[in-house]
Chain A
Amino acid sequence: MTDPLKLYRFLLKLYPARFREEYGTPLEQQFSDEYREAGGGLARLTVWMRTLRDLAISIPLELGRELRQDLRYSVRIYSRRPGMTFLAVAAMALGIGATTGVFSVVNALLLRSLPFRAPERMVQLGVPFVPPETPPAFHAWRRHSDYLEDAAMYSQTEMNLSGAAGSARVKVSETSSNFFSALGREPEIGRSFATDEDVNGKNGVAVISYGLWQQFFGGDPRALGSTIHLNSLPLTVVGIAPPGLDYPAKTAVWTPSVFNLARIPKSGVVWRETFGRLKPGLTLTRAESMFDADREHLSPGVLKQEGVDRVKLIPLREQLAGPVRRASLVLLGAVSFVLLIACANVANLLLTRITERRKELALRASLGASRARLAQQLITESVLLTGLAAAAGMLVAHWAARLATAAQPAQLTTQNYTILDWRVLGFAVGLAVLTGFVFGVLPASLIGRLQPTEDLVRAPSDGSNSRVRRLRSALVALQVALTLVLLGGSIVMGRSFSKMLGADLGYRTDHVITMNVSLAGTRYDKPELRTQYYHDALDRLRKVPGVEAAGGIDALPLATNAFMGIDAELDSSPKAEFSCVMWATTDYFRTMRTAIIAGRDFTSKDQQGAARVAIVNEEFARDAGGSQAVLGHRVKSIFGGSESGVTIVGIAHTVHYHAGPADTPMPILFLPPDQNPYPFMTLVARVHGKTEAYLPIARDAIQSVDRQVPVFDVKTLDQRLAENLARPRFYTTAVLFFGVFGLLLAVIGVYGVASYSILQRTHELGVRIAIGASAQRMRWMLLRQSLLPVSVGMVVGVAGAFGLGQFLQHLLDTAQRVDALTCAIAAAALAAIASLAVWSATQRILRLDPMQVLRAE
């Protein structure tokens, strides 16, 4: 049997150090007395029960009492050095706050559970997979699938919503009838779609989102059964989705018409997507091979036709996190570097404090305080510091999360970046406690070397001094290395971004206003009516004083993600050219300042009934064999019908549809809308003077043509460009900020070490100067010595920066390679600033009076 006293002694370790040291012996004594007197059997069990109760009551009491004492003492210590305390807290607050803020993004996108049943098994079926497109065939396919438990199909578009409560432009998902059951979420109020409601004629029903119900109906339950209009088509509301459910991508209305997309008149390109839930126990790889076989069975040869290698099953979480997933992880990496640099800095500051307090600690040790007791005090001090920093960091985190929300809104409402989430808060508290504990332990480890009597009467020994010095130099080298890696990354991203800003997009974004009009579901259902409407709208726009030119296009650069493609057969070539098709009006190119580099622009004569013409872009012309091969030649048929084809009359300068190096220019064939007017158009106008001032005037001018036609997304082209660049700008700014902040912290670290070293060596320096060394020589010597750890850090940092650059290139399409020049710039900047810091720290040598130093000795 275990010795009861041994067990009790072990339990005594739970008391705080001071109490244990003070009363450990009498406690043991009393326990052993009671145990002995109890005799045996039941009485001894009673003693144990009483002892355990006693421990449970007294341990927290004593812990609380000593913590209060230590905290009071720590506050006194810190208030003696308010400047240092502020610096340490601010550095840590920024470090912890920024890391927590970025973690909240990662948490929302990658860690937090999605609001669906068994979300980890949910997958998106990659395009170009096409499941059967009639209700019976689709439902039979999903029911008999050997790898999917369930699957649903949807197609998302923006539509005009109108009802008794007003009108709005909302995202609508046309779905299969089992959409909600496949997600595993049922409407909060009302019902989801009945099994046969995706059949034509029965699909006049809709489920609306909780948010729309609140905004549009004021949360009135009578919304159920009421009628709403989507692009003028009436639908009956049968259900209200649960709060937070807005899948896919902020959907406000779901209606089961995915098998009959023509039912609701709409504009823009539409396509169907399918998601499903894998059968339990099936791995993704296994499911993918089954999916591949299924796809080949359903649509043989489609991959070859589309020029795709393979079709994938994409886990839904990955799909929702999409392009920001990797970038967020890069950001988390960068911000962790900043935290590490801040940590190294604070460790350095605390080391200085501990050396300064050596005498005080030695005194306390000689008065009987044990190592454990002093270590407990030091750990409390650092945990207090990081606790304060974490509290202040929460504000920084809140701000960082808000910035991230603006730059990269989450796909689902439930993925909003919040810092009031147990995981994020736990992360922050964990960071604070961990860093606090590490900083407490690091200085506390030095106490082991404390020799009370010697340290009280003498300066600390050379051995312990050099140990501290080595530790501090190592910390500086670590800071420099991390900073260099960060700076390298920042410079790379900054250069990529400025290249992106300076890139020729193929049009000018300044002084252009843009607005969308949609004729879908309006009375303009015939081509000639649409043509007339566009003519009238552009006429009104051109008459606005200050408007220089105005035109329209169905797919505006910076605003379009989906394009219509065709295989264009030229009479000059036997081979069909893949090309996008767009409808652009007269003056569109002039308004956008897109040069027509050969041939002519569209004119008012290119109307319905006139010879059918087209303009292509340079990319198209290059693919087809140069301008000679296209200009004046005919594209045989645009949509494969019996139409007569179009003649290419001009070549336009190629434009980039998205800002950034990821954008590869597409071959485009432009048609005049007069010849086949499209129900959706973005109108653009080039104006003189302040661009924003024209937005309301232009909207009113267009609405005056017909109040029933919705005019929306009224923005300047510069605003659209800024929105397009928001994400890269956010990443670049964040990494640049982290780089500069890291640099600042590293410089503070280098300066601190240099000035501390001078302080420690005042006597030696005084003696050297007294025997004839010049102060300037001393300064050079110190500069050399201080820059040694900086150089070591630089060597490691350069290697790290190269490695990081390659890693970044894999992760971010905007990142460029880290080259020698980037490293040289970063290293030179760091070396120059570090030298300046050391040089200014050595200034006090000039004021050093050797006689005074020697007298003090």
Chain B
Amino acid sequence: MPRKDELTVQDLLPLAPVTFHMLLLLSEGERHGYALKREMAKQTKGKLNPGPGVLYGSINKMLEQGLIVESEERPASHLDDERRRYYRITPLGRRVAQAEAMRMRQLVEMAEANLGLPEPA
């Protein structure tokens, strides 16, 4: 198994749905854990709604893999809860999310060619 510092983008694929979604959300801007979870649940209509353990387990793993980092910047003090931790996507995280999206595009193209896909409603 390659060491962390030798991990290439391809080694990290395919991503778990929760990870991919979090990277997509963080690409829009910094968020704290609970905000990530709520946004994810909203976007997927509740299909992805990780509990605290799974959520922070994934965050922990993403931090170790270098896909995200903890952000030093905090919102204005009247909006901030100092117990919250904010995360930011890294350049590696961005490349990995792109590569995952490409992989999915290829899958979609293959599905379209083989199965034919109806127009989205």
The digit string for A54-94, where 1 denotes a CB below 8 A from any CB of B, is 11011101100100000000000000000000000000000
Quick one: which of B33, B50, B51, B55 has the most chain A CB within 10 A? B51
Within 8 A of A (CB), among B43-73: 49-57, 59-61
Question: Known contacts being A33-B34, A58-B53, is A26 close to B84, with CB within 8 Å?
Answer: yes
A26–B54 touching, CB < 8 Å:
no
Q: How far is the CA of A62 from the CA of B51 in the complex (A)?
A: 14
Whether the Cβ atoms of B37 and A30 lie closer than 8 Å is yes
In this assembly, does B94 line the interface, its C-beta being within 8 Å of a C-beta of chain A?
no
The answer to whether B57 and A61 have CB atoms under 8 Å apart is: yes
Which chain B residues (25-40) contact chain A, with CB distance < 8 Å? 32-34, 37
The answer, yes or no, to whether B83 is at the interface (CB within 8 Å) is: yes
**Are A58 and B57 in touch, CB under 8 angstroms?**
yes
Do A26 and B51 touch (CB < 8 A)? no
On whether the beta carbons of B54 and A57 are closer than 8 Å, the reply is: yes
Q: A58 to B56, alpha carbons, bound, how many Å?
A: 9
- Contact partner of B57 among A29, A53, A62, CB < 8 A? A62
When distances are taken between beta carbons in the complex, the residues of chain A under 8 Å from B54 are 54, 57-58
Task: Give the complex CA separation of A31 and B51 in angstroms.
Answer: 8
For A29, the chain B residues whose CB sits under 8 A away are: 34, 81, 83-84
Contact, CB under 8 Å: A25 / B83:
yes
| B83:A53 contact, CB within 8 angstroms | no
Chain B residues contacting A57 (CB-CB under 8 Å) are 51, 53-54
* A26 contacts B85, C-beta separation under 8 Å: yes
With a cutoff of 8 Å between Cβ atoms, the chain B residues found around residue A30 in the complex are 33-34, 37, 52, 55
Are the C-beta atoms of A55 and B53 separated by less than 8 Å? yes
Docked pose: A804 CA to B83 CA in angstroms: 63
A51 contact set on B, CB distance < 8 A: 51-52
Which residues does chain A contribute within 8 Å of B60, judged by CB atoms? 19, 22-23, 62
A499 at interface, CB cutoff 8 A? no
Cα A51 to Cα B52 in complex, Å, equals 8
Q: A22-B60, A26-B33, A29-B34 are in contact. Are A54 and B83 (CB under 8 A)?
A: no
Scoring B33, B49, B52, B60 by chain A CB atoms within 10 A of each residue's CB, the highest score goes to: B52
Shortest beta-carbon distance from A325 to chain B in Å = 53
Whether the Cβ atoms of A31 and B57 lie closer than 8 Å is no
CB distance from A308 to the nearest CB of B (A): 73
A-B contact count (CB 8 A): 58
How far, in whole Å, are A123 and B84 apart by their CA atoms in the complex?
72
Residues of A within 8 A of B61 (CB): 65
A19 to B57, CA, bound (A): 8
A14, closest chain B residue (CB): B53
- Tell me the complex Cα distance, A396–B50, Å: 49
Chain A residues contacting B56 (CB-CB under 8 Å) are: 19, 23, 26-27, 58
Task: Contact check, A59 vs B84: say whether CB atoms are below 8 A apart.
Answer: no
Expressed in whole angstroms, the Cα–Cα distance for A30 and B59 within the complex equals 14
Which chain B residues border A53 with CB–CB below 8 Å? Answer: 51
A26-B35 Cα distance, complex, nearest whole Å = 12
Q: From B55, which residue of chain A is reached at the shortest CB distance?
A: A30
Chain A contacts for B53, CB-based, 8 A: 15, 27, 54-55, 57-59, 62
A543 at interface, CB cutoff 8 A:
no
Which residues, 85 to 105 on B, are CB-close (under 8 Å) to A? Answer: 85
Nearest CB in chain A to that of B37: its residue: A30
Least distance between A64 CB and chain B CB atoms (Å): 11
A26, B52: Cβ atoms under 8 Å? Answer: yes
Chain A residues 9 to 24 lying within 8 A of chain B, measured CB to CB, are: 15, 19, 22-23
Task: Decide: A27 and B83 in contact? CB cutoff 8 A.
Answer: no
Tell me whether B51 and A58 are in contact (CB under 8 A).
yes
Distance in angstroms from B4 CB to nearest chain A CB is 11
Q: Do residues B57 and A27 form an inter-chain contact, with CB atoms below 8 A?
A: no
What residue in chain A is nearest B64 (Cβ atoms)? Answer: A65
For A22, A25, A34, A58, which residue has the most chain B Cβ atoms within 10 angstroms?
A58
In the complex, the answer to whether A26 meets B83 with C-beta atoms within 8 Å is: yes
Tell whether A50 is near chain B: CB-to-CB under 8 Å: yes
- For B34, list chain A residues within 8 Å (CB): 26, 29-30, 33
Q: Is the CB of B50 within 8 A of A54?
A: yes
Within the assembled complex, what's the spacing in Å between the Cα atoms of A677 and B118?
A: 107
Determine if B83 and A31 form an interchain contact, defined as CB atoms under 8 angstroms apart. Answer: no
| Cα–Cα distance between A58 and B32 once the two chains are bound (Å) | 19
Residues in chain B near residue A55, CB distance under 8 A = 51, 53
Given contact pairs A23-B60, A30-B37, A50 touches B51 in the complex (Cβ within 8 A): yes
Cα of A57 to Cα of B55 in the assembled complex, Å: 11
Considering only CB atoms, which chain A residue lies closest to B51 in the complex? A54
- Name the residue of chain B whose CB is nearest to the CB of A18: B60
A62 and B56 CA atoms in complex are apart in Å by: 10
- For B57, the chain A residues whose CB sits under 8 A away are 19, 58, 61-62
Report the minimal beta-carbon distance from B82 to chain A, rounded to whole angstroms: 10
Please, how many angstroms separate the alpha-carbon atoms of A27 and B34 in the complex? Answer: 9
> In this complex, what residue of B is CB-closest to A27?
B52
Whole-angstrom CA separation of A57 from B18 in the bound complex: 14
Give every chain B residue within 8 A of A50 (Cβ-Cβ): 49, 51
Smallest Cβ distance from B74 to chain A, in angstroms? 14
Cα-based distance from A74 to B119 in the complex (angstroms): 56
A26–B81 alpha-carbon span in the complex (Å) = 11
A279 to B51, CA, bound (A): 60
Give the complex CA separation of A27 and B37 in angstroms.
12
A22 to B60, CA, bound (A): 9
Find the residue from A23, A30, A31, A51 having the highest chain B CB count within 10 A.
A30
CB distance from B6 to the nearest CB of A (A): 15
A492 → chain B, closest Cβ, in Å? 56
What's the least CB distance linking A264 to chain B, in Å?
72
In the bound complex, how far is the Cα of B57 from the Cα of A27, in angstroms? 10
A34 to B52, CA, bound (A): 10
Q: Which residues of A contact B52 (CB under 8 A)?
A: 26-27, 30-31, 34, 51, 54
Question: Which A residues are CB-close (under 8 A) to B59?
Answer: 23
Q: Given the complex of chains A and B, what is the CA–CA distance between A23 and B84 in angstroms?
A: 10
Q: Which residue of B lies closest to A61 (CB)?
A: B57
Question: Could you tell me the distance between the alpha carbons of A446 and B59 in the complex, rounded to whole angstroms?
Answer: 33
Q: In the complex, what residue of chain A is closest to B82 when comparing beta carbons?
A: A25
B56, chain A: closest CB distance, angstroms? 4
Q: Which residues of B contact A23 (CB under 8 A)?
A: 56, 59-60
Contacts of B83 in A (CB 8 A): 25-26, 29
- The CA of A409 and the CA of B53, in the complex, are separated in Å by 56
Chain B residues with Cβ below 8 Å from A58 are 51, 53-54, 56-57
A26 closest partner in B (C-beta) = B33
Name the distance in Å between A49's Cβ and chain B's nearest Cβ.
10
Contacts of A25 in B (CB 8 A): 83
Name the residue in B34, B37, B53, B55 with the highest tally of chain A Cβ atoms < 10 Å from its Cβ.
Answer: B53
**How distant is B83 from chain A, measured CB to nearest CB, in Å?**
5
User: Residues of A contacting B49 with CB < 8 Å?
Assistant: 50
CB-nearest residue of chain A to B63? A22
Q: What's the Cα separation between A310 and B66 when bound, in Å? A: 83
Q: A15 to B34, alpha carbons, bound, how many Å? A: 19
Tell me the smallest distance from the CB of B62 to a CB of chain A, in Å: 13
Q: What sequence of 0s and 1s flags, for each residue 32-60 of chain A, a beta carbon within 8 Å of any chain B beta carbon?
A: 01100000000000000011011101110
Q: Nearest Cβ distance between residue B106 and chain A, in whole angstroms? A: 29
Kindly state the separation between the CA atoms of A65 and B63 in the bound complex, as whole angstroms: 14
The winner among A15, A23, A51, A61 for most chain B CB atoms within 10 A is A23
In A250-269, the 8 Å CB interface with B consists of: none
In the complex, which residues of chain A have a beta carbon less than 8 angstroms from the beta carbon of B37? Answer: 30
A25 to B52, CA, bound (A): 11
Residue in chain A with minimal CB distance to B34: A30
**The 8 A-B residue pairs with the shortest CB-CB distance in the complex, in nearest-first order:** A54-B51, A58-B53, A23-B56, A30-B52, A27-B52, A54-B53, A58-B57, A30-B34
Known: A23-B56, A26-B34. 15 other contacts (CB 8 A): A15-B53, A19-B56, A19-B60, A26-B32, A29-B83, A30-B34, A30-B52, A50-B49, A51-B51, A51-B52, A54-B52, A55-B51, A58-B53, A58-B57, A59-B53
* A/B interface sample: 9 pairs, CB < 8 A: A22-B60, A27-B52, A31-B52, A34-B52, A50-B49, A57-B51, A58-B57, A62-B53, A65-B61
Interface set of A (CB-CB < 8 Å, partner B): 15, 19, 22-23, 25-27, 29-31, 33-34, 50-51, 53-55, 57-59, 61-62, 65
